[in-house]
Structure 1
């Protein structure tokens, strides 16, 4: 194992992205134009998908922060925090790779707050109460009182960002600066 670990650590082309190293990220200005927080809260078997905790400014309600639990079949990962948020926006909002998840009560998968601190508090409670068996109906039976919370559709959209030919833009890729020496 030590030889493989050393080999992986020595090759910058082999990387697992930030989600493997750290679970929660924040940026003062994300793709939404305001502060955002993103965390991976469940990733076990791809059958169950990937579950994210996300805070962003509501696209139609200025100065209102939305806390959501987001269910996707895509593992969104990146080598930098900035790119992590760009890719999350790309796969969730542009490519619509998400589904409204099941809710048992108001506020357990979606909440709105007038402050980032309030949104973080609400999202922390959602994460504390998270139970995969109540969220996805993975065993083909729903938890009592389950229903899809469709308010997430107003945040992440339903139309996608394809061009006039129906094609998607390529996913955001890392950019690297290269030092170029002038030749004499």
Structure 2
């Protein structure tokens, strides 16, 4: 079959026409992670400033890597039964910088919706993978401030390789389970009905 003859100028014109059709369609808005890569909010689901980025889109079956900076949930002050005084249980390093993995790809055209979807898949549905690491500072670091956490995240990303943190730990590697401190390990309940256990295929996954 002979290839169609079309000039580069004609190709560019057709691309522009298609882009205009997409841009003017109210239901075809691009996602923020696709257009900006890094998105922040002054008050996310954690109740404080947060940052979210998609750092790697993997091949089929390899999942996707995200970067997240957020304040850890602060437990309520405890009262000592013996001394009858309040004990401060707040973590000394409240902000966490985390590189996390999930088999779910998500995005949204609005900031609030994007963070809601991130927490839905990572915390509510627990669709994250506990990664392996070679040392403690590879995928997760704690910080006293949001700025320090973002700087720590940038430092981790400079040496990050998406293929080095999946699979069974070998040769001194270990499971970095600190992702569970931010997102939890249990399945939540929505509208009184428990969700499927973590890893249960969605309908569209099972049909493929």
Name the TM tier (shorter chain): 0.7 to 0.9
5+ residue gaps, structure 1, are: 169-184
CA offsets, 1:25-74, max 9 Å, x none? 11111100111111111013232211111011111445610111110011
RMSD of aligned alpha carbons = 1.9
Q: Deviations over 1:49-104 (max 9, x none)?
A: 11111011111445610111110011121111111111111111111110121211
The answer to whether the aligner puts 1:147 opposite 2:174 as a matched pair is: yes
Match of 2:71 among 21, 43, 57: 57
Secondary structure at the aligned position of 1:12 is classed as coil
Hey, what does 2:148 align to over in structure 1? 118
Aligned to 1:158: 185
Partner of residue 44, structure 2: 30
Shift of 1:142: 5.6
Greater Rg by CA: 2
Corresponding residue number in structure 1 for 2:99 = 69
Looking at structure 1, the residues matched to 109 and 60 of structure 2 have their Cα atoms a distance apart, in angstroms, of 21
2:66 is aligned with 1:45: no
| Structure-2 residue corresponding to 1:172 | none
Distance across 1 between alignment mates of 2:144 and 2:52: 18
- Tell me what 1:92 maps to: 122
TM-score (normalizing by structure 1): 0.82
The alpha-carbon distance between structure 1 residues 116 and 147, as it changes in their structure 2 partners (threshold 3 A), is same
Structure 2 stretches of 5 or more lacking a match? 1-14, 75-89, 197-208
> 126, 130, 133: which one pairs with 1:103?
133
8 Å contact 1:24–1:39 — kept in the other structure?
Answer: yes
Deviations 1:99-153 (A, max 9, x none): 121211111111111111111111111111110121224xxx7664332101111
Deviating 4+ runs (over 6 angstroms): none
Structure 2 residue aligned with 1:3:
17
Q: Secondary structure at the match of 1:118?
A: helix
